[in-house]
Structure 1
Amino acid sequence: MNHKVDIIGASTCFGQPKLGVDFGPDAIRYAGLVKALEIQGMNVEDKGNITGQYKVDPTLHSAKEEMGLLNFEQVKDFSTELAEEVESSVKLGRFPLILGGDHSLSIGSIAGISPHYENLGVIWYDAHGDLNDSETSPSGNIHGMPLAVACGVGHESFVNLHQPGVKVKPENVVLIGMRDLDVGEREYIKENDILTFTATDVREKGMAGVMDEAIAYLKDKVDGLHLSLDVDGLDPLETPGTGTPVDGGMSLSETQLAMRMLNESDLVTSMDLVEVNPLLDEKNITAEKAVEIASFLFGKKQL
């Protein structure tokens, strides 16, 4: 894996209604991310936080705008700025590690990464598919839409953000940890034959079996692999500080194993680490788990 790592804080809460997730990047930093990566031999540069031109206004947050989407203009502005910063990192030959912030940030991160790969692959490690659009979303929360946008589904301003068109082909996507999918998301997964592992699949196959299948499926198809990891992919007992917790998720040890296997695959070229909300957390434990997850992706071992 690339040992030159840019930490890019994506300090946004506009993709969902719960305030505080915009503090996630700093919470992860305070939990010791830079030191942990440097111990793993990484050359780390912290690029600070992207904030966008819009400021958080608690009295107006989650106003429905374009096509019923919440905070539409704020998400579009933020995603554009983030895409530019992420692409700058990729152009310099560095590994962009994007800290969230809510998962809508992946609209920008993937848009910035995709111009540099003909066949970008994505592993979506999450309780949710984030494959809704304005018609299928029950809430209008854009953090439930970024993977659909990357696949070319959704509002044209998002789909064509930074560069026109599809950023990742559905056949280059693997979903891991799914256990809270909306009806429209299930239909999209089946229609596009997206390789999907539910939380039950992880229990039945074991995490090693799931990751073996995922890596084998992607390794000869993609020339870059983006890992987008939502901390709600883990069980809420492990990561309480997140806005949309779902019971029955992965353990930290299962996630450490997944990260170790991805490190050994030498496929991963960028990462989102999202949805840490310190206002909902207990003594910053979720941010500390996020640091542990990143450390294993970059080569930490238990022995």
Structure 2
Amino acid sequence: MTDSEGRDSRRRTTLLGIPMDAGTSVPGARMGPAALRIAGLATLLRELGHEVEDAGDLPPPEHPFVDMVPQDVAACRNLEEVAGWTQSIHDRSHALASQGRLPIFLGGDHALSMGSVSGIARHCKDAGRELAVLWIDAHADFNTPATTPSRNMHGMSLAFLSGEESLRPLLGDRPLVPLPPEAVHIFGLRSIDTEERRRVQAHGVRAIDMRAIDEQGVAALMRPLIEQWMERDVHLHVSLDVDMLDPSLAPGVGTTVPGGATYREAHLIMEMLHDSGLVGSLDIVELNPFLDERGRSARLLVELVASLFGRTVLDSPPVRMRAF
């Protein structure tokens, strides 16, 4: 199976379940990996011609001691459990990427990305490859122990990955490769805390909010990002949070925010990312089956992943952004 440029478009994927909800105060996201499997994720990917290995779920980790100042410990809910998950996920993420696999991390709350993305960043540094991260999310996840109003660590993931010093101990003795501001793009933002907004702006992280999407449209905003990434031939990590979608489409999430992406907007994002040929790793996070309606959210997420991996309406070659 080849793409329109003659390259083999089949991918060696590994599904890895991360049954954690320690990063949030709403239980249920730990059931997300099972729901995605039941919704047929592996079957759809195989039907698209990809090799699929299901590595099962990571077991609950040991809770390590985290050497942080007392006020930061108090500000982080389930700190030791999140640190254990972060270190365990980091190790598997780095190993899978080093083996040439395309890891798909089935969440689980968005705190899992502290481990998945940090492992990918470490691999990219080892391989001499530039990493770009597309954070598809209603939230910026850029809080710190000093700014969090909720104490939920899924709201600190991107701050940790960007090098927030107070959160560095979460990774223990493993190397952290901080993401530079130009490597991170938040897409679909529509809910952000006051102090968090100041930190995002001060750090220089690029964010496209729902107003920009309303005014300009998905294609006009995605195209220049993809062209930049293609020009630099990056490893693209996509972190897909179900709450980017409007809750009328995907109610199975503990942090619903009205005014999210439509069905076609979400699929268009995935289709354009597939056309780029750059996606090398993926998070699917914040699916909470306990809050879902007869599996609607899980089925929609699986359909979106199918679009990301090449399912099209017509059997025609994709239109590439630009040839370099």
TM-score normalised by structure 1 residue count: 0.92
Partner residue in 1 for 2:136: 125
2:23 corresponds, among 15, 23, 36, to 15
Aligned-partner SS, 1:117: helix
Partner residue in 2 for 1:59: none
2:167 corresponds, among 132, 150, 155, to 155
Deviations 1:221-270 (A, max 9, x none): 56311100100000001110001010000012111110110011111110
Partner residue in 1 for 2:274: 263
After the TM superposition, which of the residue ranges 148-157 and 119-128 deviates more from structure 2?
148-157
Instruction: Tell me, in whole angstroms, the C-alpha distance in 2 between the residues paired with 1:16 and 1:66.
Output: 15
1:206 corresponds, among 214, 217, 236, to 217
Partner residue in 1 for 2:90: 83
The Cα of 1:111 is off from its aligned counterpart by 1.6
Structure 1: tracts of 5 or more residues without a match:
56-63
Aligned-partner SS, 1:104: helix
Deviations 1:65-94 (A, max 9, x none): 814200000001111111111122111101
The Cα of 1:133 is off from its aligned counterpart by 0.6
Partner residue in 2 for 1:224: 235
2:258 corresponds, among 247, 250, 253, to 247
Are the equivalent residues in 1 in contact too, given 2:75–2:146 (CA < 8 A)? no
Structure 2 matches for 1:103-122, cutoff 5 A? 103-118=110-125, 119-122=130-133
Instruction: Tell me, in whole angstroms, the C-alpha distance in 2 between the residues paired with 1:65 and 1:121.
Output: 29
The Cα of 1:185 is off from its aligned counterpart by 2.2
The Cα of 1:164 is off from its aligned counterpart by 2.7
Instruction: Tell me, in whole angstroms, the C-alpha distance in 2 between the residues paired with 1:53 and 1:106.
Output: 16
Q: Does 1:135 align with 2:146?
A: yes
Are the equivalent residues in 2 in contact too, given 1:260–1:297 (CA < 8 A)? yes
Are the equivalent residues in 2 in contact too, given 1:12–1:51 (CA < 8 A)? no
Structure 2: tracts of 5 or more residues without a match:
1-8, 64-70, 315-324
The Cα of 1:54 is off from its aligned counterpart by 5.7
1:193 corresponds, among 201, 204, 209, to 204
Instruction: Tell me, in whole angstroms, the C-alpha distance in 1 between the residues paired with 2:221 and 2:53.
Output: 33
Are the equivalent residues in 1 in contact too, given 2:10–2:51 (CA < 8 A)? no
Are the equivalent residues in 1 in contact too, given 2:181–2:206 (CA < 8 A)? no
Q: Does 1:46 align with 2:46?
A: no
Partner amino acid for 2:30?
Answer: D
The Cα of 1:189 is off from its aligned counterpart by 2.2
TM-score normalised by structure 2 residue count: 0.87
Is the alpha carbon distance of 1:23 and 1:54 closer, same or farther for their aligned partners in structure 2, counting shifts above 3 Å?
farther
Partner amino acid for 1:151?
Answer: S
The Cα of 1:2 is off from its aligned counterpart by 5.9
Q: Does 1:238 align with 2:249?
A: yes
Instruction: Tell me, in whole angstroms, the C-alpha distance in 2 between the residues paired with 1:242 and 1:51.
Output: 23
Are the equivalent residues in 1 in contact too, given 2:122–2:176 (CA < 8 A)? no
Instruction: Tell me, in whole angstroms, the C-alpha distance in 1 between the residues paired with 2:60 and 2:294.
Output: 28
Instruction: Tell me, in whole angstroms, the C-alpha distance in 2 between the residues paired with 1:244 and 1:13.
Output: 13
Instruction: Tell me, in whole angstroms, the C-alpha distance in 2 between the residues paired with 1:188 and 1:92.
Output: 36
Partner amino acid for 1:6?
Answer: T
Are the equivalent residues in 2 in contact too, given 1:80–1:162 (CA < 8 A)? no
Are the equivalent residues in 1 in contact too, given 2:182–2:205 (CA < 8 A)? yes
CA RMSD of superposed structures (Å): 1.7
**How many residues matched?**
294
Instruction: Tell me, in whole angstroms, the C-alpha distance in 1 between the residues paired with 2:296 and 2:172.
Output: 34
User: What fraction of aligned residue pairs are identical, expressed as a percent?
Assistant: 37
